[in-house]
Chain A
């Protein structure tokens, strides 16, 4: 049991290397390409001022944020798939992302609509710091609503998914409507955000999400063991002495926390949480803990690469990372759907 198999070991060594490489690549490539030497010079503080600004202030925080956000979505998806015993679950499908987005949009709109000069006026970084909390509240509310509506303690995986899809549709309609209602002048930025975008993300976004990352990782480590048992049949779980309702709720909370905080800084990037866990399970069959960790790394890698592609492929423009992830993820999703019995 305690010996690690070849496959997980290889993944644990190779993936960080590949992630490091992609990170370096995303520091080099962009509107103005830099050589690796220039990047190193900038990182060590000996480069040109322009290089310094591009690498330190723009590309590094953005790349790091991409990796962190990917980690969040992938972990959340993995946990949700194990919890719902359904390989097609993810924060998007279960309505968590939609709830988080709606809350975030409402917060932004409310912040902008309040009269300027009012003490409550939230702006810029101040608003940003509140976004994860708002998104979390929205995500938790959506998750709790879906959980309750699908029959709470007696939830079957199928019911959970269907209720999630319907709730997501309702929430999305409300969000689109809320945005349209707000007025046409402001929608552009929010549309980009809703597509899932990392454009212009600087260091303070990292500081905003980091506490949630730490909290989410701790939570994930705490729930790994019960999560393993929760994958069994309800009756078996109960007869193993597990308090089914309480653990389900706790696990759902951790998954929601991870997804909602990521939505708050990068918008609802879909299909990462859906596809990555499958890759992880395929790479390291068996051990849950390894799968969880590998999922996190793969998610980080996927969003990092997708964002890099999004901002270098069609150069004058920038494709939102969420659009790219959907275009990658949907075929994979449909393939998985075909595989289902």
Chain B
């Protein structure tokens, strides 16, 4: 199995977002995609999911160009959870998770025994089985996100792409979702690629980090190789200390933005 992009150019309607980017997604690992707003994280994820056709270069899944994959077969390999998924009004958790089985079902055929078993498994894995009959809208943000992940893993694809899965959640729920993804990666050998804003979370949960800036890939590698002071200054414009903790993961502590107003010398004396 492999998923890699070769010198791709990606964009929408004539405006190019990503120019000449090459990347290889490490299989059966958790990859975090980091970079400032507008650097092309979402665009790259859409490209990797086959939702956006490269205007140049190519993206290959298992050595075969994404464009030549029939949509349905691609769905068996890659699942994607966008940043703002839409839950139809009044839909229940179980029904939504069942949509993940859509690629496996015919037009008229209902859910097979296997489909039902997979749906139950997906809800069990994500801890949403307890409210299977509740309307999705009635759940909290963290619960909803787990329902969406349940739907995505019910698709039983080998690769799961997530666009900022933690953005609209509070701190505790962010960690819950990340722990869930780490568990799925560990136990199901699921390949996870997600864009994240919190660098410490990226460092803690990812095996592999991709740093993007203005449509290019700046760095790729293990967290402790990639997340370091100079990168934070040049990419995020943040003045930060990076400390390697006991478990070998880096930890960043921001001191301020690079262009913050520092107190003039004479003021320090006054205080």
Chains A and B directly touch (beta carbon < 8 Å) = yes
A residues apposed to B, CB below 8 Å: 1, 82, 85, 87, 222, 225-226, 228-229, 231-233, 235-236, 238-243, 281, 285-288
- Minimal beta-carbon separation of B76 from chain A (angstroms): 8
The answer to whether A241 and B85 touch across the interface, beta carbons within 8 angstroms, is no
The answer to whether A240 and B75 touch across the interface, beta carbons within 8 angstroms, is yes
Mask of B73-114 contacts with A, CB within 8 angstroms, 1/0: 111101111101111111110110011101101011001000
The answer to whether A242 and B89 touch across the interface, beta carbons within 8 angstroms, is no
Instruction: For chain B, give the interface size range.
Output: 35 or more
The answer to whether A281 and B89 touch across the interface, beta carbons within 8 angstroms, is yes
A240-B100, A286-B135 known; A235 vs B80 contact (CB < 8 Å)? yes
The answer to whether B86 and A222 touch across the interface, beta carbons within 8 angstroms, is no
Q: In the complex, which residues of chain B have a beta carbon less than 8 angstroms from the beta carbon of A288?
A: 95
Within 8 A of A (CB), among B97-139: 98-100, 102-103, 105, 107-108, 111, 116, 135
The answer to whether B80 and A239 touch across the interface, beta carbons within 8 angstroms, is yes
Residue in B50, B71, B82 whose beta carbon sits within 8 Å of that of A236 in the complex:
B82
A-B contact pairs, 5 of them (CB 8 A): A231-B88, A235-B51, A239-B49, A239-B80, A243-B71
- Asked if B262 lies at the interface with its beta carbon under 8 angstroms from chain A, I say no
The answer to whether B73 and A241 touch across the interface, beta carbons within 8 angstroms, is yes
- Bound-state Cα–Cα, A85 to B87, Å: 10
The answer to whether A241 and B111 touch across the interface, beta carbons within 8 angstroms, is no
- Bound-state Cα–Cα, A192 to B116, Å: 53
Q: In the complex, which residues of chain A have a beta carbon less than 8 angstroms from the beta carbon of B84?
A: 233
A1-B111, A285-B135, A286-B92 known; A242 vs B82 contact (CB < 8 Å)? no
Q: In the complex, which residues of chain A have a beta carbon less than 8 angstroms from the beta carbon of B155?
A: 239-240
Interface contacts beyond A239-B78, A239-B79, A239-B155: sample of 13 additional A-B pairs, CB < 8 Å, sorted by A = A1-B98, A228-B88, A229-B102, A235-B80, A236-B80, A238-B71, A239-B50, A240-B99, A240-B100, A241-B74, A285-B90, A286-B91, A287-B95
Q: In the complex, which residues of chain A have a beta carbon less than 8 angstroms from the beta carbon of B245?
A: none
B residues apposed to A, CB below 8 Å: 46, 49-51, 71-76, 78-82, 84-92, 94-95, 98-100, 102-103, 105, 107-108, 111, 116, 135, 155
The answer to whether A240 and B89 touch across the interface, beta carbons within 8 angstroms, is no
A285: nearest chain-B partner, CB-CB = B90
A238-B51, A286-B95 known; A232 vs B80 contact (CB < 8 Å)? no
- Minimal beta-carbon separation of A78 from chain B (angstroms): 12
A1-B111, A1-B116 known; A231 vs B86 contact (CB < 8 Å)? yes
The answer to whether B103 and A281 touch across the interface, beta carbons within 8 angstroms, is no
B116: nearest chain-A partner, CB-CB = A1
Considering the complex of A and B, which 9 residue pairs feature the smallest CB-CB distances, nearest first?
A241-B75, A241-B72, A285-B90, A231-B88, A239-B80, A241-B103, A235-B82, A233-B86, A241-B71
- Bound-state Cα–Cα, A232 to B99, Å: 10
The answer to whether B105 and A240 touch across the interface, beta carbons within 8 angstroms, is no
- Bound-state Cα–Cα, A284 to B247, Å: 53
Question: How many pairs of A and B residues are in contact by the CB < 8 Å rule?
Answer: 85
Interface-central residue, A229, A281, A286, by most chain B CB under 10 Å: A286
Q: In the complex, which residues of chain B have a beta carbon less than 8 angstroms from the beta carbon of A82?
A: 88
Q: In the complex, which residues of chain B have a beta carbon less than 8 angstroms from the beta carbon of A1?
A: 94-95, 98, 111, 116
- Bound-state Cα–Cα, A329 to B114, Å: 45
- Bound-state Cα–Cα, A231 to B90, Å: 12
- Bound-state Cα–Cα, A87 to B155, Å: 28
The answer to whether A232 and B100 touch across the interface, beta carbons within 8 angstroms, is no
Q: In the complex, which residues of chain A have a beta carbon less than 8 angstroms from the beta carbon of B94?
A: 1
A225-B107, A286-B135 known; A241 vs B102 contact (CB < 8 Å)? yes
- Minimal beta-carbon separation of A335 from chain B (angstroms): 16
- Bound-state Cα–Cα, A235 to B85, Å: 9
A238-B71, A241-B73 known; A232 vs B88 contact (CB < 8 Å)? yes
- Bound-state Cα–Cα, A85 to B79, Å: 22
Q: In the complex, which residues of chain A have a beta carbon less than 8 angstroms from the beta carbon of B88?
A: 82, 85, 228, 231-232
The answer to whether A286 and B80 touch across the interface, beta carbons within 8 angstroms, is no
A235-B80, A239-B80, A240-B75 known; A229 vs B49 contact (CB < 8 Å)? no
Q: In the complex, which residues of chain A have a beta carbon less than 8 angstroms from the beta carbon of B116?
A: 1
- Bound-state Cα–Cα, A243 to B88, Å: 19
B49: nearest chain-A partner, CB-CB = A239
The answer to whether B99 and A239 touch across the interface, beta carbons within 8 angstroms, is no
A222-B107, A225-B107, A235-B51 known; A85 vs B86 contact (CB < 8 Å)? yes
- Minimal beta-carbon separation of B161 from chain A (angstroms): 8
The answer to whether A235 and B99 touch across the interface, beta carbons within 8 angstroms, is no
B73: nearest chain-A partner, CB-CB = A241
B94: nearest chain-A partner, CB-CB = A1
A226: nearest chain-B partner, CB-CB = B107
The answer to whether B91 and A235 touch across the interface, beta carbons within 8 angstroms, is no
Residue in B74, B90, B107, B111 whose beta carbon sits within 8 Å of that of A286 in the complex:
B90
- Bound-state Cα–Cα, A40 to B12, Å: 67
- Bound-state Cα–Cα, A285 to B79, Å: 28
- Bound-state Cα–Cα, A242 to B70, Å: 10
Residue in B50, B90, B111 whose beta carbon sits within 8 Å of that of A281 in the complex:
B90
The answer to whether A232 and B85 touch across the interface, beta carbons within 8 angstroms, is yes
- Bound-state Cα–Cα, A233 to B96, Å: 12
